[in-house]
Amino acid sequence: MTPLRQRFLHDLQLRNYAPRTIDTYVLRVALCARHFNRSPELLSGEQLRDYLIHLRDHRHASGTVLNQTVCALRLLFRVTLQLPDRVPHLPFQRRPKTLPTVLSRDEVQRLLDATPPGQPRLLFRLTYAAGLRVSEATRLRLRDLDFGRGVLRVCQGKGRKDRLVPLPRALRDDLVTVAVATGRRPDDWLFPGQDRRRPVTASAMQRLCTRLGRACVPGKRVTPHTLRHSYATHLLEAGVDLLTIQRLLGHRSLQTTARYLHVSTQHLRDTPSPLDLPVSEPPA
């Protein structure tokens, strides 16, 4: 590891960035340096702009990748290198506002029924039943299951925040069976990987979910996050208020939660079409 990368890594860690964010930012800077085949500290502001244009026009990078690159380069030059003048005009991309993909309850059930029994099915059922991010579900430990209080503790979710969510009653027996299995300890992963010292990877669960989604729900791109979107929308349609859903999802802003108002079909179904309205008689 080069001294510059080590300093950048330390700066990210000192600012308490999440491990996945640290890995992403280090990767974005490394790819930029590889493109020019030189250390980032030798790059000019114009070269950095040219790199963003290259990502957009030739690599067809998404808005997310472009914004990650901008954030990583800004932090590298402003904090680690103390060269803020190199990155004054690196623009953020305006991402198109799209509605999240939501499954009906029947579609969710088809997906869960098609999931291999055992750990994968329990993980997806819990992801949907508790509205978890896949990274939160895969990193649960046995100690996070509080059967006495009926809650599940999500440790250090997005934004490095802990939160409590209701422990799904429909999964209680399955979770108890896993928790009391012979030889398991409170610090053990709820969903261990092949190396039981590590949890199953989120990427493996994402690939499995996408493959199952193509077979079970054609026409919709299904990921584990789709189950989270479906959870929030189904709660909203069941009459749960937005503030409660915000707390359950761990959203910082109510505005983020409010987008589920746009995908809930309950209000839309209750709104009549003009063709469905009775025709009033003309006055005599």
Q: Write out the catalytic residue numbers.
A: 133, 158, 225, 228, 251, 260
Strands (E), the chain: 145-146, 151-157, 161-166
The sign of the CA dihedral 158, 163, 168, 173 is positive
Residue 191's nearest CA partner among 114, 107, 125, 113 is 125
> How many Cα atoms sit within 13 Å of 67 on the Cβ side?
8
Identify whether the C-beta of residue 90 lies closer than 8 Å to the C-beta of residue 73. Answer: yes
Identify whether the C-beta of residue 13 lies closer than 8 Å to the C-beta of residue 21. Answer: no
Block residue for tokens 């006055």: 283
Residues in the chain: 284
Helix (H, G, I), strand (E, B) or coil at 85: helix
Identify whether the C-beta of residue 129 lies closer than 8 Å to the C-beta of residue 171. Answer: yes
Residue 155's nearest CA partner among 124, 174, 133, 173 is 133
